[in-house]
Structure 1
């Protein structure tokens, strides 16, 4: 795998070196970003004051605090583009920046992560980097991208202004956030393109086991208003948290010998200028290659199977009454009954959001009502006890520039 990767890198470097350059292309610099905050309340009044659930797992991704004004994320994004190249430096700060970039930090949010092989100081400034990559367009159809970039998996993203709903789906929360690596994209025509790449697995700045993951995305555009994305990521031994359990002795060595695959379908259809439909479906699976019957029994006892899986589906629809006010609905079913991801239960949710756009599109207010129903007593009540359901009502305040 490493020899093949090195060969591909050398081939790509040679191609770039032989390509003609244009010294007259000065390029253009752009600056953008946003800041967001929110206030919400939970009708079940969780004793802990957050929405993580009774076991403090991952009931919600970013909007976690109740009955207080809370800061989400502050972004400063710089982009530089020329005829042949693009560069993006995307810096984020605040609580949601740390949660969304937890693989680059060493602290209470991810105490299980191993220290960087280059020293603990690496995680200081790296925690502010959400994305840092450049793209070279070798031809109008072929491009190469290198660096740290947001994942291609899923429907939603970290950036609050780009999502219709403020609270994030469990599909988003339990999938990858970002990758570090190399990818190439080729546009066959205006309707079909393909991306393939090699990355340092999921949400990890440094590759702790030298096993790379492969990524792919096939983009189809049957209609000008309809786009379909078929996404995939797969690798061997690419779960840093699971690897840490093996190295600490909490799991036997056989549980460290596994592969992991995630398949994802995302599609969006602008039915009319005001009416929109979207869908996201994902299925992931581990395959443990244990060395003995005892290890097989142990892994089966912990995960319920030597091939535990997870996945779900989310449906989206929204309608714009005018340029200022809209109404959107999201229904989601997510299943992690084998506890191989963060949610560790089965859950259904319904989210209703009515965004208001003010200040020439710069200011977004997102009132939101969300109801969750879990298969187990996952959520928390005022006594700190587990309950199956949770209803929240809140509003997000977002300013983008």
Structure 2
């Protein structure tokens, strides 16, 4: 990206921010009292890895429920949020193995920030918003909050694409069927920009919901995760569709596909991709089950570095059983099998091609309005 492009991006951000201030000063609704809420989440888990790895951390490419033979907290956070028709804000502090593993590149207190952002409405219809700070990624159908997902463990594509971003985003909802978002961020899942990298990264999201039973999504990322001296541009797409086919059966199908320059200035690019399909069936009011099939290929180690001849080429299959006695509590049991072309999974003795785990978790969410 050249200097003129960076200047245009900065001017666009300043223009949007200035517009929001002018609207705020001239709109009496700005003085209405906001709503203040407190919420929280806890996810306690136990996983037994039948490969019996020597370390408690099981796999370097997994960031959730990634401990062997120990009870632990995957994610716990407390969140305060402010809601107003003209502005909004979120602050959430986190702890757990997810925070330790996935935020390991962030210094000090930053790895304990789950969310910290402020948003302003930019028009009278209140369907155009600008938000800035640390926020959840626009990529994928799985979040860090396990109870929002159809399976206990995360898919390979979710674990190896951003869960969080830091920057600013502009969101437009022309109607209740469409959502269009543009982002300027500090990098590929980074709060602080990588030292030595002088350019921001960009993203887009287009979400279309023609009915309440269908969601179609396309998200992108354009940027780099390198310092300037070796800068390789990265171009990434995430596609998924979520379908409630019957009252009891739902389906998610997705595909991540990305390319990255082989070296700075080169026209040659390396490819990685990951298709996935998940089916969920509601047995009754309290019980659900889900099956997931997935594949992840990163032959040159763009996202998942390996030293094996064929790189990372892994197939996965998992079966999930959920019990939810109330809306805010979910108890889960999952069996997951991974098979790789090369011997990448650690055991007590020598690496192997296969990995099988059984995991269980109990997660709880709560929310309370403090002030209206």
Partner of 2:191: 205
1:396 pairs with one of 350, 361, 367: 361
Q: When the two structures are aligned, how many residues end up with a matched partner?
A: 350
RMSD: 1.9
* Superposed displacement of residue 184, structure 1: 0.6
Give the 3 Å change call, closer, same or farther, for CA 267–97 of structure 1 in structure 2: same
Could you tell me which runs of 5 or more consecutive residues in structure 2 were left unpaired when the two chains were aligned: 307-311, 367-372
Instruction: Kindly indicate whether residue 250 of structure 2 is the aligned counterpart of residue 276 of structure 1.
Output: yes
Partner of 2:49: 42
Q: Report which of the two has the higher share of strand.
A: 2
Give the 3 Å change call, closer, same or farther, for CA 17–224 of structure 1 in structure 2: same
Q: 1:227-376, aligned counterparts within 5 Å?
A: 227-235=215-223, 238-240=224-226, 243=227, 256-290=230-264, 306-342=268-304, 344=306, 345-358=312-325, 360-376=326-342
Spell out, residue by residue over 1:176-223, the C-alpha distance to the aligned partner (whole angstroms, 9 max, x if none).
Answer: 222111111112222222111211111222223121111100111222
Give me the TM-score of the superposition, normalised by structure 1.
0.83
1:175 pairs with one of 161, 181, 187: 161
* Superposed displacement of residue 175, structure 1: 0.9
For 2:192 and 2:54, how far apart are their aligned partners in 1?
A: 37
2:20 touches 2:121 (CA, 8 Å); kept in 1? Answer: no
Give the 3 Å change call, closer, same or farther, for CA 28–213 of structure 1 in structure 2: same
* Superposed displacement of residue 18, structure 1: 1.9
* Superposed displacement of residue 100, structure 1: 2.8
Partner of 2:77: 75
For 1:184 and 1:16, how far apart are their aligned partners in 2?
A: 12
1:102 touches 1:203 (CA, 8 Å); kept in 2? Answer: no
2:77 touches 2:114 (CA, 8 Å); kept in 1? Answer: no
* Superposed displacement of residue 386, structure 1: 0.9
Give the 3 Å change call, closer, same or farther, for CA 289–340 of structure 1 in structure 2: closer
For 2:278 and 2:329, how far apart are their aligned partners in 1?
A: 23
Partner of 1:66: 68
Spell out, residue by residue over 1:286-329, the C-alpha distance to the aligned partner (whole angstroms, 9 max, x if none).
Answer: 114547xxxx8xxxxxxxx9411111111111111122111011
For 1:347 and 1:95, how far apart are their aligned partners in 2?
A: 24
Give me the TM-score of the superposition, normalised by structure 2.
0.89
Classify the secondary structure of the residue corresponding to 1:386. coil
For 2:11 and 2:67, how far apart are their aligned partners in 1?
A: 48
Partner of 1:98: 100
* Superposed displacement of residue 45, structure 1: 2.1
For 1:339 and 1:332, how far apart are their aligned partners in 2?
A: 18
For 1:70 and 1:225, how far apart are their aligned partners in 2?
A: 36
